[in-house]
Structure 1
């Protein structure tokens, strides 16, 4: 009998890139059958586009009443799990990147083992919630998340393992988004309403970006923010606005930018795969020093007024040498980049756990 492993794809498309490499790696292992469960045809089509051999068993779950299917808006995870409980519970091992499925633990008769691949490698405190403790095994990108989860009592040293950042294996190549050679500034605001620079300061930020000279600008909010806020509109010819596309989730922009402008998005660590200048917006003038939720703000300039942006950009290249060591150290702590691909490391950890669980059940 094959070892059955099911990946729950009930979150939005940006999370697919964090679990799909491991699913594909497992599908190449002998004696393993990998299933992907999603209520979204578009999500399953996205998965299939990376699986030309059709190695994954794609299962369309029943979809709760919701808006039209979209990569960036999915129906309630709770309702999806309720509606498909009979299907979901029959798999002995479930792997997911979201934590809503931890609710399954409360259902009578639910006995599946559960693994979470923690998506992202950011610093925001909102990335650590009580439901993380619902999982039998948690895979994290680097020692930082392992340390923080253990310190918060959400995992133990035995059920939390470093597996690397498999999304890097699906990253898009650097490309030109403009028809000129001006440097590119990427503005990437987060969705957290309390920490994001956009909800309270959007008009001010946009006006400053529109007034920039000598730069191309990509405005690519986190896709959750893009779904919650009014469309960002501008007639400025040097600005590209992306409110949700494949480019906004496959690292196209983080690979193609020359300077990163943001607040608390974990995409800063995707951008820093190759160290480059960063500028962070502290427009609410927070006392951030010493707060590990803002640890990444030590990796670049921090400005408290949009009027300071042109000067910060002018200085970015000259100041970068002073930030490189800190950027590389932060990356090493946040994302383990061992020579073995993260997808294979995650596959090893998942398969070892699955087969140990099978042996325990058979004993």
Structure 2
């Protein structure tokens, strides 16, 4: 009898690419049945578009009252879990990328085992919440995350495993978004209002980007920020703004840009799949040097005034050789590049766990 494994897709679309390659790998095995559970027809359709052989069993969950179905705005995760509890609890193993599902552990009689594929590989403290301690098995991208999970007592050493970064296997290829030969700057502000460069400084940042000469600019805020802030608009012909599309979540921009400009988004590690210059905006003047939440700021220039951006761009190429070793070391610690694909490794780990739990 095939081993049943359910992927619980109740988060927004940006998390889909972190579990999809592993789900496809498992679904391609004769002894596994993979179900995809989501309250979003759009999320299901996006996942199914990668499964032309129709190996997935899509299950459309009941949708709590909210706005129209959207890739980037989903109903309350807790409400979705409670509304669909009978359908969810019948699966012995649930795989997800979010930790709201940990609330199910508080319901008497709930016996499913929960596996989390931790999305992203960043440094921000928001990725380490107490609720995570309820998860049965956590797959992380690299040793950095495993170390921090254990140090913060969010996982026992045997319950957190390095599984790599499967998203790299389905990332977009480098594309041209502009009809010129100028280099491209990718600006990627985060949604955390305390750490992001956009909420308090957006108009000044946009003005500085509009004034750049000899550069193309892609502005693609984290999709959560894009949903919370008024649309970013500009008439500057050298700027492309993306407030939420598949390009903003499938690594299209990180693969197609020459310099990264941002604050605390873990997308910087996706950008550094190929070492390139990074510039970080410390416009809030925070004390960052000894804070592990800002470890990635040691991988490039840090500027405290947006007026310094043109000068930072001008010297980026000359400074980059001095950052390459640190970037490569940080990537090795953050995202383990196994000889075998991460999706295969993650699938093996999950399947072994599911069979042991039977």
TM-score by length of 1: 0.98
Mapped to 1, the partners of 2:134 and 2:169 lie a distance apart of: 28
1:7-57 deviation per Cα after TM superposition (whole angstroms, max 9, x unaligned) = 000000000000011111011122110000000000000001111101110
Partner of residue 350, structure 2: 350
Partner of residue 104, structure 2: 104
1:231-254 deviation per Cα after TM superposition (whole angstroms, max 9, x unaligned) = 001111100000000000000000
Mapped to 2, the partners of 1:234 and 1:186 lie a distance apart of: 16
What secondary structure is seen at the aligned counterpart in 1 of 2:172?
coil
- Determine whether 1:81 maps to 2:84: no
Partner of residue 215, structure 1: 215
Mapped to 2, the partners of 1:338 and 1:89 lie a distance apart of: 33
Matches within 5 A, 1:188-337: 188-337=188-337
Partner of residue 52, structure 2: 52
What's the CA shift for 1:2? Answer: 1.4
Partner of residue 41, structure 2: 41
Partner of residue 21, structure 1: 21
1:306-325 deviation per Cα after TM superposition (whole angstroms, max 9, x unaligned) = 11000000000111000000
What's the CA shift for 1:174? Answer: 0.2
Matches within 5 A, 1:155-170: 155-170=155-170
1:228-285 deviation per Cα after TM superposition (whole angstroms, max 9, x unaligned) = 0010011111000000000000000000000000000000000000000000000011
What secondary structure is seen at the aligned counterpart in 2 of 1:196?
coil
What secondary structure is seen at the aligned counterpart in 1 of 2:158?
coil
Mapped to 1, the partners of 2:353 and 2:81 lie a distance apart of: 23
Partner of residue 361, structure 1: none
What's the CA shift for 1:3? Answer: 0.6
Mapped to 2, the partners of 1:307 and 1:201 lie a distance apart of: 12
What secondary structure is seen at the aligned counterpart in 1 of 2:318?
helix
Mapped to 2, the partners of 1:44 and 1:177 lie a distance apart of: 28
Mapped to 1, the partners of 2:261 and 2:154 lie a distance apart of: 31
TM-score by length of 2: 0.99
Mapped to 1, the partners of 2:93 and 2:25 lie a distance apart of: 16
Mapped to 1, the partners of 2:177 and 2:101 lie a distance apart of: 38
Where do 4+ consecutive residues of structure 1 move more than 4 Å? none
1:159-204 deviation per Cα after TM superposition (whole angstroms, max 9, x unaligned) = 0000000000010000000111100000000000100000000001
Q: Which structure 1 segments of 5+ residues have no match? A: 359-363
Partner of residue 120, structure 1: 120
What secondary structure is seen at the aligned counterpart in 2 of 1:317?
helix
- Determine whether 1:140 maps to 2:137: no
RMSD of the TM alignment (CA)?
Answer: 0.5
What secondary structure is seen at the aligned counterpart in 2 of 1:144?
helix
What secondary structure is seen at the aligned counterpart in 1 of 2:207?
helix
Q: Which structure 2 segments of 5+ residues have no match? A: none
Mapped to 1, the partners of 2:210 and 2:347 lie a distance apart of: 46
What secondary structure is seen at the aligned counterpart in 1 of 2:343?
helix
